[in-house]
């Protein structure tokens, strides 16, 4: 049978599996490839496969297959980024009664492994400058009760064959939504300023909003600070070299690295820009769930809040 990209690795993994797992794989792909050839490649007999296929299923086995199918659908829907805890939550939302341990066992059995990544180091924070720095008003209190109480901002990097790109992001701590971002091949104050302007257009800030960032020259610059002051925002900055002071936005950048960047090789900067825009707008904000907001996506959480506010106003 023809070999597609990734089949070799998956096939070698299947050879180490129990016959039932291999039969299940053959059943799923019998419309694409000849059964006889799959049995030959995967080291099982045709008779064994057809005996397995024609065998009456017990209720327990039928339930397992239903759960496994749901797990696989969720795993693909969330771009192979979810492990057993989040997939278990999604199953519960769909009415399945199943434990995380069972989900973990099934994922291991069917070789459903969420994406992982080790981030390579590249410096984006230049705190050696003559601009004023500001105290840490946030003090690692990342909980807010309403939108526009606190925003956090940071910059990360993206590698392409054409050279580096830089991603500046602004997150509203209430919903964990990325409300403004910008991508450029230059690490300048304009990179961060454009992301800030986009955040302000989407969610006009209220006076007293805390804007937290590191001490980088982009955020400490006169032009950036002038915008914050003009709109009544309060500047808060992390202590020097302490990434935990800005843990939420650092976590987002680690997430996009794990979910997307570590698994892509971009030929051009434009290709990378389109990929990152699609990830943030269509997946991260709209679909990717967060434990801190009740296992909802940022947009779901934000919509729920605004619907509740409208309901209160009509009472």
pLDDT band, residue 233 (cuts 50/70/90)? very high
Question: What mean pLDDT, rounded, does the chain reach?
Answer: 87
Give the tens place of pLDDT for each residue, 8-55: 444 445 555 667 788 888 988 888 899 999 999 888 999 999 988 888
Model pLDDT, residue 9: 45
> Would you state the torsion angle of the CA atoms of residues 128, 130, 135, 141, taken in this order, to the nearest 10 degrees?
-40
Q: pLDDT > 70: what percent of the chain?
A: 88
CA atoms within a 13 Å half-sphere pointing along the CA-CB vector of 164: 12
Contacts of 303 (CB under 8 A, 6+ apart): none
Give the tens place of pLDDT for each residue, 289-303: 998 999 999 999 999
Give the tens place of pLDDT for each residue, 105-159: 988 888 888 877 655 555 555 556 567 889 999 999 999 999 999 999 999 999 9
State the average pLDDT over residues 165-170: 97
Model pLDDT, residue 183: 97
Instruction: Check residues 278 and 115 and name the one with the higher pLDDT.
Output: 278
* Closest by Cα among 306, 276, 300 to 169: 276
pLDDT at 271 over 90: yes
Model pLDDT, residue 4: 44
pLDDT at 92 over 80: yes
Look up the pTM and report it.
0.70
Q: Which of 192-196, 299-303, 307-311 has the lowest mean pLDDT?
A: 307-311
Q: What is the DSSP-derived secondary structure letter of residue 177?
A: E
Instruction: Check residues 15 and 57 and name the one with the higher pLDDT.
Output: 57
Q: Which residue in the block uniquely carries the two structure tokens 């997946």?
A: 283
Give the tens place of pLDDT for each residue, 67-78: 988 888 888 888
pLDDT at 93 over 50: yes
* Closest by Cα among 249, 293, 34 to 151: 249
Helix, strand, or coil (residue 180): strand
| Domains along the chain with CATH numbers | 7-109 (no CATH), 150-309 (3.30.420.10)
pLDDT band, residue 82 (cuts 50/70/90)? confident
pLDDT band, residue 196 (cuts 50/70/90)? very high
Model pLDDT, residue 19: 79
From its phi and psi, is residue 168 left (phi > 0), alpha (psi between -120 and 50) or beta?
Answer: beta
Pairing relation of β-strands 210-213 and 234-237? parallel
> Would you state the torsion angle of the CA atoms of residues 94, 99, 102, 106, taken in this order, to the nearest 10 degrees?
20
Model pLDDT, residue 32: 86
């Amino acid at each position: 049978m023809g070999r597609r990209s990734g089949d070799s690795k998956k096939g070698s993994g299947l050879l180490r599996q129990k016959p039932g797992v291999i039969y299940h794989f053959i059943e799923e792909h019998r419309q694409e490839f000849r059964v006889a050839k799959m049995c030959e490649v995967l080291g099982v007999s045709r008779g064994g496969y057809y005996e397995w296929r024609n065998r009456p299923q017990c209720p327990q086995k039928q339930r397992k297959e239903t759960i496994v199918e749901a797990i696989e659908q969720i795993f693909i829907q969330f771009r192979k980024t979810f492990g057993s805890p989040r997939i278990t939550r999604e199953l519960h939302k769909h009415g399945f009664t199943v434990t995380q341990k069972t989900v973990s066992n099934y994922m291991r059995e069917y070789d459903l492994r969420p994406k992982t990544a080790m981030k390579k180091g590249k410096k984006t924070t230049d705190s050696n400058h003559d601009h004023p720095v500001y105290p840490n008003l946030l003090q690692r209190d990342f909980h807010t009760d309403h939108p526009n109480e606190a925003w956090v901002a940071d910059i990360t990097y993206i590698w392409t064959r054409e050279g580096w790109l830089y991603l500046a992001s602004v997150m509203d701590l209430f919903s964990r939504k990325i409300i403004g971002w910008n991508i450029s091949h230059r690490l300048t104050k304009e990179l961060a300023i454009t992301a800030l302007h986009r955040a302000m257009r989407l969610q006009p800030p209220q006076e007293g909003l805390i804007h937290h960032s590191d001490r980088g020259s982009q955020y400490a610059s006169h032009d950036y600070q002038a915008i914050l002051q003009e709109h009544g925002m309060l500047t808060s900055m992390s202590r020097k070299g302490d990434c935990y002071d800005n843990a939420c936005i650092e976590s987002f950048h680690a997430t996009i690295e794990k979910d997307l960047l570590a698994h892509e090789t971009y030929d051009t900067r434009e290709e990378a820009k389109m990929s990152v825009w699609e990830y943030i707008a269509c997946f991260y904000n709209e679909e990717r769930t967060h434990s801190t907001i009740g296992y909802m996506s940022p947009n779901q959480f934000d919509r729920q809040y605004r619907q509740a506010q409208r309901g209160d106003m009509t009472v």
